[in-house]
Amino acid sequence: MYLIATNKGDTMNTELTTTTTTDMGAITALVLDGLSSHHSRRAYDRALTDFLQWYDAQGRPGLTRATVQAFKVKLQGDGLAPSTVNLRLSAIRKLAAEAADNQLIDPVLAAAIGRVKGVTSGGRRVGNWLTKEQAQELLDRPDTTTLKGLRDRAILAVLLGAGLRREEAARLTWDHVQQRDGRWALVDIEGKRNKIRTVPIASWVKVALDAWAEAAELDTGRVFLAVNRGDNVWGDGISSQAIWKVVDEYAQDLGLDVAPHDLRRTYAKLAHKGGSGVDQIQLSLGHASIKTTERYLGVEQDLTDAPGDRLGLRAN
């Protein structure tokens, strides 16, 4: 039997209700069924299995914020990486939400568990990059059966697929989306120090923008607008902070420790790995110095395969 703490009225009730192992297994199954990615399902399955085993070993103290905090301390004590700890906390938050939806835990307790903070990386942050697989998972995460999901996917698309800063994404208008030389691009983007650049975009970025535009019936003004809880568009734009929250929502859901600027770095990194030249990446990002672009790429001089080795010349 699992013991789930309840909350009645304004104070915590010391009485605990019992929930069977079968119930918890069913709730775990609901969490996993809500994940579209096989990789995420496998990671969440392992995270919840580990948590419930620890929960049993602790005498089933009740699914509360304090319990989850104690588990977080235990994970940190085990020396796990911040991203791993955050992934496991994300899985537990979903477990609590599903338990509340099925009346196995008070919604107030589930909300408190949802506010358990993740772990930040120590030391000087030099930036993160996502792998191609992680970037695809993040892009696929929004629910595109809703307006909010279509908007959020389009936001992630211009961050990952065009390397825009979050301020640039917030200011983006439909007038910026134009064809140049037979392909789509984001034209005349104003970046830092009022520097203007044009960023060619791949077809999948345009697809994401078009799907959002069609569903929201947009063709003028700001590209990204607010979507209320009723899944209706309102207002005439969103802030750069709202862009940050969109990234944070889906990143935390996947246990990823990234911010919007990390998606800009990922754009550069994946483009370089795909064969794009550093000069072209520099132009797309709007960097005044190529050294800045190289820092984004994590480029280091390769003394074993140097440019001079590829010139095809010889001394007779």
Q: What digits encode the pLDDT tens for the residues 257-270?
A: 788 999 998 998 89
Q: Looking at residue 162, what is its pLDDT?
A: 93
Distance CA 261, CA 267 (A): 10
CA 168/CA 163 separation, integer angstroms: 10
Tokens encoding 167: 């301020």
Instruction: Write out pLDDT tens, residues 108-126.
Output: 888 899 888 887 755 444 4
Domain boundaries in the chain? 2-114, 132-297
Positions of the chain with pLDDT under 70: 1-24, 36-39, 121-127, 298-316
What's the fold here for domain 2-114? DNA polymerase; domain 1 (1.10.150)
Report the predicted TM-score, pTM, of the whole model to 2 decimal places.
0.61
Comparing 2-114 with 132-297, is the CATH topology the same?
A: no
**3-state DSSP percent of the chain in helix, strand and coil, to 5:** 55, 10, 35
Residue 4 has what pLDDT? 47
pLDDT, one tens digit per residue, over 173-217 is 999 999 998 999 999 999 888 889 999 999 999 999 999 999 999
- Annotation: CATH topology of 132-297: hpI Integrase; Chain A (1.10.443)
Contacts 24+ apart (CB under 8 A), 122-129: 127/261, 127/262, 127/265, 127/296, 128/257, 128/258, 128/262, 128/265, 129/262, 129/265, 129/266, 129/269, 129/298
- Cβ atoms of 251 and 258 within 8 Å: the answer is yes
pLDDT at res. 316: 53
> Coil, helix or strand for 130?
coil
